[in-house]
Chain A
Amino acid sequence: EIVLTQSPDTLSLSPGERATLSCRASQSVSSTYLAWYQQKPGQAPRLLIYGASSRATGIPDRFSGSGSGTDFTLTISRLEPEDFAVYYCQQYGRSPITFGQGTRLEIK
């Protein structure tokens, strides 16, 4: 199975700063099949990015995704207070579907 490793585990930043979250795969992932989710405490995850770089409906343009092969990045250009949450990457190109362990984005 494809193992996804996210880094860092925790990222401490202030509102207004830029956040860069990494997701590295143990095998090449077609960029068509890499997604990012946001999860807030007590809530279900929410789809942010699919196909490595396409924003889901209603997702603000401060969220962007990039990458290919085994290295992918989620960037939040200017953090808003509501962006502090846990972020997961997911590959859906090969069964079993797998997720990264998550990056916690916390307020500094």
Chain B
Amino acid sequence: QVQLVQSGAEVKKPGASVRVSCKASGYTFTSFYIHWVRQAPGQGLEWMGWINPKSGGTNYAQKFQDRVTMTRDTSIRTAYMELSRLNSDDTAVYYCASQFCTSTSCGNLFDPWGQGTLVTVSS
């Protein structure tokens, strides 16, 4: 079945960068965009952007435009999200999620999701 498995929890100091990975299985990796969504503790969901695994093209939310980089390695079916210049507000669970498609069309909604990666930013 379609599955996304993310890397493990990270603890980072303010000002550092973090890279989270998302390994796909059960489908053709280049067929569906991978999105990244984060959730601060006790808070709601915040979309960060997407990567097209086929072309490498990206689209970032304006809030993260200057700090996020999404990449992929098709040889190992893995997408990456790197966030730089971390601060305490970046403490959150980061999810990757596959673009959802029906038999006739695709949209920028998400199914399935990875299990999430907790990133803690603390001095």
Contacts and interface: CB of A to CB of B under 8 A. Distances in A.
B26 interface: no
Interface residues of A, number: 22
A43 B59 CA distance: 26
Contacts of B44: 88, 99-102
B62 interface: yes
A26 to B, nearest CB: 16
Interface residues of B, number: 23
Interface stretch (B11-19, B74-82, B83-91, B107-115): B107-115
Nearest to B47: A97
20 contacts: A44-B115, A45-B95, A46-B111, A47-B110, A50-B100, A54-B102, A56-B100, A88-B44, A88-B45, A90-B109, A92-B107, A95-B59, A95-B61, A96-B61, A96-B62, A98-B47, A99-B47, A100-B44, A102-B44, A102-B45
